[in-house]
Amino acid sequence: MTGTSDLSSVRASYDTVAVDYARLLGTELSGRPLDRGMLSAFAECVRGDGSGGRPVADVGCGPGRVTAHLAGLGVPTFGIDLSPAMVAVARRTYPGLRFDVGAMAALDVADGVLGGVLAWYSTVHTPPAELPALFAEFARVLAPGGHFLIAFKAGDRRVRLDHAYGHPVDLDVYWTPPELIAGLLAAAGLTEVGRLVRQPAEDEAGPQGFLLARKA
């Protein structure tokens, strides 16, 4: 859920909110057709990239709801999250899927073995200056022709969170311009395939961005 900064505070915050986070957001995708559309496009790209059914890593998977959604689309998916409490919730909720504790900036995955990487709002606590190293790590584990999908908060600001999901937390949330995301991905060797910026839902504070890219 972050790159290299403040890992302990992010881990502690998500350990605290894990159960209520899963309860409050468990059915969120059902009301987000455009979000589901981007996930469907990602799954179709992964299935058709000629990688022979290579797995997809959902990095910063939280309680596993998006991991399970991708698995339901026919993609062999596993989840990785910094928070042991989040991973515990994911394992209880989706016992048929694999979930590991780990940091996005140092994935315990060999070079070039994944058909896809998904970062579904999992970089929002990463300062923009640290995104290049994070994207380079995602590119490292992708096979040639593999795809990357990122969901992020589209804007240019930092918001401090002291309370979320009914609990005290210690988090910074970064809103990032889509053009910056696209440029940093290109620098990491990930070429943009397409993007979507949608208007905020009632419970969102601003536009939401989605960008699909491919490793050459």
Phi-psi region of 145 (alpha: psi -120 to 50; beta: other; left: phi over 0): left
Cα 151 to Cα 39, 62, 88, 94, 117, distances in angstroms: 10, 14, 23, 22, 12
Between strands 208-215 and 142-153, the pairing is antiparallel
Residues in the chain: 216
**Through-space distance between the first and last CA atoms of the chain, rounded to whole angstroms:** 26
Residue 130: predicted pLDDT = 96
Residue 53: predicted pLDDT = 83
Closest CA to 134 of 82, 85, 87, 206: 82
Residue 3: predicted pLDDT = 41
Strand (E) or helix (H) holding 23: helix 7-25
Q: Which amino acid is at 12?
A: A
Query: Cα separation of 18 and 92, whole Å?
Result: 12
Segments of the chain with pLDDT less than 50: 1-5
Q: At what angle do helices 131-141 and 178-187 cross, to 10 degrees?
A: 50
Cα 117 to Cα 20, 108, 122, 188, distances in angstroms: 26, 13, 12, 14
Question: 192: exposed, middle or buried (C-beta count within 10 Å: 0-12, 13-18, 19+)?
Answer: middle
pTM, two decimal places: 0.95
Residue 2: predicted pLDDT = 43
